[in-house]
């Protein structure tokens, strides 16, 4: 029998009352560095990373309702008070609600590749969205990306070429929850490893 998913209102952001831009210091009750995960899925990365970095505020953005509800249940059961979750379109949320120079790191792991050419316009990594990431990143803020899709990886590299004057490549280090042979430690990644898929990573830092 599937576990009953519980709701935890204290960790959920309500877009109707959030305010534009959002005041994340007020939301978390402390002025710690803010990390945002784009597409948090079932919350595997958020849960492990928030436990490892208790001095960081984590926000997970997820649109798929079934994954979002699972993530809320997981974070709530684990009692992680440095995590908040919001069900929203990530590009729209970042544009409307995230203040300038407020994010220390963006985590973008295994985003939807939208493989059909006519759907490429839906890909999160695109010049318009990267502009928003740069607007909201603090100085020396980071963007961390992982994908198992070689074609999307090449697409990403071409997109980021346009921003070499404002972003520098840095080393991609494994996440706190990564186990042997893993990079992030998400449910998707563990599935991909079993299928012997290659994983491609990118990491950038905002230049001064």
Residues that are catalytic: 112
Q: Residues with Cβ < 8 Å from 159, sequence gap 6 or more? A: 125, 126, 127, 130
Q: Residues with Cβ < 8 Å from 136, sequence gap 6 or more? A: 94, 98, 99, 100, 101, 102, 103
Distance between CA 170 and CA 206 in Å, rounded?
10
Furthest CA-CA distance within the chain: 53
Q: Encode burial over 140-172: b for 16+ CB neighbours within 10 A, e otherwise.
A: ebbbbbbbbbeebbebbeeebeebeeebeeeeb
188, 44 Cβ separation under 8 angstroms = no
Three-state DSSP class for residue 158: helix
Distance between CA 36 and CA 68 in Å, rounded?
15
99: left (phi over 0), alpha (psi -120 to 50) or beta: beta
């Amino acid at each position: 029998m599937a576990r009953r998913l519980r709701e935890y209102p204290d960790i959920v952001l309500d877009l109707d009352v959030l305010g534009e831009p959002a005041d994340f210091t007020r939301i978390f009750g402390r002025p710690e560095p803010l990390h945002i995960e784009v597409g948090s899925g079932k919350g595997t990365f958020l849960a492990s990373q928030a436990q490892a970095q208790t001095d960081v505020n984590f926000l997970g953005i997820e649109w798929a309702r079934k994954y979002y509800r699972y993530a809320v249940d997981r974070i709530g059961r684990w009692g992680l008070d440095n995590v908040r979750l919001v069900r929203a379109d990530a590009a729209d949320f970042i544009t409307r609600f995230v203040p300038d120079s407020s994010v220390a790191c963006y985590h973008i792991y295994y985003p939807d590749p939208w493989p059909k050419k006519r759907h490429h316009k839906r890909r999160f990594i695109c010049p318009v969205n990267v502009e928003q990431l740069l607007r909201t990143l603090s100085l020396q803020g980071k963007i961390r990306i992982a994908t198992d899709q070689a074609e999307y990886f090449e697409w990403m590299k071409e997109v980021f070429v346009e921003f070499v004057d404002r972003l520098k490549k840095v080393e991609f280090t494994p996440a706190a929850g990564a186990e042997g042979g893993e990079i992030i430690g998400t449910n998707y990644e563990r599935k991909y490893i079993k299928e012997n898929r290659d994983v491609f990573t990118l990491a950038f830092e905002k230049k001064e």
